[in-house]
Structure 1
Amino acid sequence: MNILLIGGNGFVGKALIKEFKKYNVKVSYLSRSQNHSISIDEATFIQGDIFDSENIVINKKYDIAIHLIGTIKNKKLYSKLNTESVTQTIKLCQKQNINKLIYFSANGGFKQYLESKRNGEKLVVDSKLNYLIIRPGLMYGKDRFSSYFNIFPIKLFSKLGITFSKKVYPLPVEKVAESVVKAILDNTDSIIIEIIDMK
């Protein structure tokens, strides 16, 4: 099995690469820049910009593409990175005959952010590709130290007996990666994986 991560040199991409390596699954990641903390032994780097897909050179056959491009911080880029990038990924999948697309969406968050992610989901569903939509909440892990600051208030609220939104339930990024890789290797019939499935 060959997996192509689109935008896979970041927080979630690195966790997926480590999880796939446990099962000797071959992974490549497409990104504008190489992440030198990801060794050649772990994944193959393909340089490219999804918004310039005509100039992306891919010589291998991939079974699955996993779309990881997105932003929660920059509201001005919600449309481009959370939605338009999905259109470009779908075009790349069709061009490369990749039949399955996994899209990392969201389960909660700012209204505009969530809308941009849901618009991305609609594009995936309408693409006619086989698909799996992942809806995680807040993810945290040691590769992104700042992610721990997001979960401190939730842990505090919990200790004070204040219920926090279940839609952003925090999970370690490794746990999310483990759930996604398991779903792929088990060839799940699911089309959406929610937080409750990853706990």
Structure 2
Amino acid sequence: MNILVTGGDGFVGRYLCPELVERGHMVTSLSRSPDPDVLPDEVETKTGDVTDYDSIVDAYENQDAAVNLTALPPLHEPRPGTFHDTVCIGGAVNAAHAASQHDVDRYVEMSSLGATMQSPIAYWRTQGLGDMIIEYSDLDWVVLRPSFIFGEGSETFTFIKTYTTPYVTVLPNGGDEPTFQPIWVEDVARITADALEKEKHGGKEYDLGGPEVLSFGEVTRMLYQAEGKSVKIVSVPMWLAQVGLYAAEPLPWIPFGINQARSLEMSNVTDHNDIDAFGRDTSELRSLSTYLKEEKI
């Protein structure tokens, strides 16, 4: 198949594009500032911005399938002048319309576990609205909603190390919340490729998680232990941490704010892990604890 991957040189795309090439597909990566150095030589790169329909529509010509990976970081406040609404909602409208105009046969939307229009958090609310746009389109769509994705270049690792310190760190409620079900980026890439290739997945949405359920505090300890550092967690009341993040919202040099305050109490764990729909069992997935023991981060 000819497959277009928007955001193909981003965190997930750098693993998905090689997976698709290895399976024999012709792959094109579309992004605002293409970086061909992070992709296999076989991947063609094109320039386009999902918030600008005219800049992306031609890229969908002669494509059999498409994957939309574009989104703003959920754990940091967007840089000035960028908005979740513009990318997650406007981008979904533009990408879906462009794919429809060129009769793309299969369309995969990479969403996020917890995405719902009712969420009080901008990232998950706009992701939920973006999902609805895709699901009401005339495309043969698949929506994937993974919990936090880990691997080299993971934004979650960066966030935790920005928010915490080794040896002694302060966390709301001792780091018992929020909880995650981390899933390895290469496992996500393989599942995404399956969603593109197999007709039975059309018109379905899948919640995806890894083999472990971990709290923010547990992940923090694991990250620093992987560097040979210990960490003692000092507990503060959740309300106090949230007050601090609300207060930080107007300060442009602090990458946290209201959305991060609200996310502190959010569980990011599947009710049912849909990896079984792709013929996989959690025992076959790479766990975060195994990854941190085997890789340097």
TM class, shorter-chain normalised? 0.7 to 0.9
Find the aligned partners of 1:53 and 1:115 in 2 and give their Cα distance: 22
DSSP-derived class of the 1:42 partner: coil
Write the deviation string for residues 78-133 of structure 1: whole angstroms up to 9, x where unpaired: 11111110001012112222132211111138722211111001100111211000
TM-score, L = length of structure 2? 0.57
Q: CA shift at 1:149, angstroms?
A: 5.0
Find the aligned partners of 2:124 and 2:60 in 1 and give their Cα distance: 35
Find the aligned partners of 1:50 and 1:145 in 2 and give their Cα distance: 22
When Rg is computed on C-alpha atoms for both structures, the one with the higher figure is: 2
Contact 2:9/2:36 (8 A) holds in 1: no
Contact 2:93/2:133 (8 A) holds in 1: yes
Unaligned runs of 5+ in 1: 154-159
Counterpart residue number, 2:185:
173
Q: Which amino acid aligns with 1:171?
A: I
Q: CA shift at 1:66, angstroms?
A: 0.7
Counterpart residue number, 1:99:
105
Find the aligned partners of 1:118 and 1:103 in 2 and give their Cα distance: 11
TM-score, L = length of structure 1? 0.82
DSSP-derived class of the 1:177 partner: helix
Query: What does residue range 43-54 of structure 1 map to in structure 2 within 5 Å?
Result: 43-54=43-54
Using a 3 Å threshold, how does the CA distance of structure 1 residues 58 and 164 change in structure 2: closer, same or farther?
closer
Counterpart residue number, 2:207:
194
Unaligned runs of 5+ in 2: 165-173, 209-272, 276-281, 283-297
Using a 3 Å threshold, how does the CA distance of structure 1 residues 11 and 119 change in structure 2: closer, same or farther?
same
Counterpart residue number, 2:197:
185
Contact 1:124/1:131 (8 A) holds in 2: yes
Q: CA shift at 1:15, angstroms?
A: 1.1
The alignment yields a C-alpha RMSD, in angstroms, of 2.8
DSSP-derived class of the 1:28 partner: strand
Counterpart residue number, 1:69:
70
Query: What does residue range 22-171 of structure 1 map to in structure 2 within 5 Å?
Result: 22-39=22-39, 41-56=41-56, 57-58=58-59, 60-71=61-72, 72=74, 73-74=76-77, 77-108=83-114, 111-142=121-152, 144=153, 146-148=155-157, 165=179, 168-171=180-183
Find the aligned partners of 1:59 and 1:98 in 2 and give their Cα distance: 7
- Number of matched pairs: 191
Counterpart residue number, 1:5:
5
133-142 vs 72-81, greater mean Cα deviation? 72-81
| Percent of aligned pairs with the same amino acid | 23
Using a 3 Å threshold, how does the CA distance of structure 1 residues 83 and 59 change in structure 2: closer, same or farther?
closer
Contact 1:151/1:170 (8 A) holds in 2: no
